[in-house]
Amino acid sequence: MSETSLDPAPCLIPLPARALVAVSGEEAAHFLHSVLTANIEKLPAGEATLAALLTPQGKIIADMLVANASDDEKLYFLDVNRGFAEDVARRLAVYRLRAKVEIAVLDASVAVYAVLGGALAASERFYAFADPRSRALGQRLYGPAASVEAETADLRRQDEAFFAAQRITHGIPECGPDYLPLASYPHEANMDQLGGVDFKKGCYVGQEIVSRMEHRATARTRTLLARFNNGFGVDSGAEVRAGEQLLGSLGVSAGACALAQVRVDRWLEALEKNTEITGGGVPVLLEKPGYARF
Q: What is the pLDDT of residue 8?
A: 56
Q: Give the ranges where 99-178 is alpha helix by DSSP (H).
A: 145-151, 160-169
Please state the rounded mean pLDDT for residues 91-104.
95
**Domain assignment of residue 5, yes or no:** no
Q: What pTM was estimated for this model as a whole?
A: 0.94
Q: What is the pLDDT of residue 233?
A: 83
Q: Do residues 126 and 248 share a domain?
A: no
Q: Do residues 265 and 132 share a domain?
A: no
**Domain assignment of residue 166, yes or no:** no
Of 153, 175, 198, the domain-final residue: 153
**Domain assignment of residue 255, yes or no:** yes
Q: Do residues 135 and 228 share a domain?
A: no
Of 111, 126, 153, the domain-final residue: 153
Please state the rounded mean pLDDT for residues 124-139.
96
**Domain assignment of residue 96, yes or no:** yes
Q: What is the pLDDT of residues 19-66, one digit of tens each?
A: 999 999 999 999 999 999 999 999 999 999 999 999 999 999 999 999
Q: Do residues 42 and 137 share a domain?
A: yes
Q: Do residues 23 and 101 share a domain?
A: yes
Q: What is the pLDDT of residue 79?
A: 98
Q: Do residues 35 and 139 share a domain?
A: yes
The SS3 of residue 54 is strand
Q: Do residues 52 and 148 share a domain?
A: yes
Range of the domain at 128: 12-153
Of 110, 133, 153, the domain-final residue: 153
Give the residue, 74 or 122, on which the prediction is more confident: 74
Q: What is the pLDDT of residue 235?
A: 87
Q: What is the pLDDT of residue 4?
A: 38
The CATH number given to whatever domain includes residue 281 is: 2.40.30
Query: Structurally, how many domains does the chain consist of?
Result: 2
Q: Do residues 137 and 228 share a domain?
A: no
In this predicted structure, the answer to whether residue 5 has a pLDDT above a threshold of 60 is no
Q: What is the pLDDT of residues 217-247, one digit of tens each?
A: 989 999 999 999 888 888 899 999 999 999 9
**Domain assignment of residue 207, yes or no:** no
**Domain assignment of residue 239, yes or no:** yes
Contact status, residue 98 vs residue 16, Cβ threshold 8 Å: no
Q: Kindly report the CA angle at 70 between 67 and 76, in degrees rounded to 5?
A: 40
In this predicted structure, the answer to whether residue 2 has a pLDDT above a threshold of 80 is no
- The type of residue at 252 is V
Q: Do residues 228 and 142 share a domain?
A: no
Please state the rounded mean pLDDT for residues 263-269.
97
CA dihedral 22, 24, 29, 32 (to 10 degrees): -40
